[in-house]
Homo-oligomer: A and B are copies of this chain.
């Protein structure tokens, strides 16, 4: 059985949703960020990068949300990957945008210490987060067939969008300004895959 190392209110919910979408039986192991467990030797032995998610498989531990989602799609939940290669490429285009642009922009609100040292820099970074996240939302808004990116069928990109959409209120973005994104968020919350992670306390 695969084991997912997760922390509340982080990107790790994407991998949990993907597993749940396929009805996969998996074990969750909570990593308590409030106790800085991700920085302790026990967890660094699992993931030396000190981040969640990490997926323990019979053949070893995988890290990076994109790699974990693709592995879930390739080996356990094929229905989350489009059959057509170009549509799969479009899905990956969204996945890379969500992480290299949107998640990185979001991270500048609370994790500026990754890239700078001065409080004045952190403040400067925080001041741009709302603008950057709005730009990201505007970009995504036009790429949604509805309710999910490619229509009624969820893909790995929709699983990944869930935690990113949950960043928005804290980032100062009004999701109601983006009707397609708001509808996608509502459709995600209506899935039993998402209800299950809410019940287990993965999103609060």
Contacts and interface: CB of A to CB of B under 8 A. Distances in A.
Interface of A: 48-49, 57, 59-60, 62-68, 70-71, 74-75, 85-86, 88-90, 92-93, 95-97, 99-101, 103-105, 108, 114-118, 120-121, 124-125, 127-128, 132, 139
Contact of A128 (B49, B89, B92, B116): B116
Nearest to A70: B92
Contact of A124 (B71, B121, B128): B121
B86 A66 contact: no
Contacts of A127: 116-117
Contacts of A100: 64, 99-100, 103-104
Contacts of A59: 86
A65 B114 CA distance: 23
With most chain B CB atoms within 10 A of its CB, the pick from A59, A90, A124 is A124
Contacts of A68: 89
Contacts of A88: 70-71, 74
Given A71-B85, A125-B116, A64 B92 contact: yes
Nearest to A108: B115
A64 B86 CA distance: 13
Given A62-B89, A67-B89, 14 more contacts: A49-B97, A62-B86, A62-B90, A64-B92, A64-B96, A66-B92, A67-B95, A67-B96, A68-B89, A96-B99, A99-B99, A115-B115, A116-B121, A116-B125
Contacts of A103: 100
Nearest to A122: B121
A58 to B, nearest CB: 9
A104 B102 CA distance: 12
A74 B85 contact: yes
A59 B95 CA distance: 20
Contacts of A75: 85
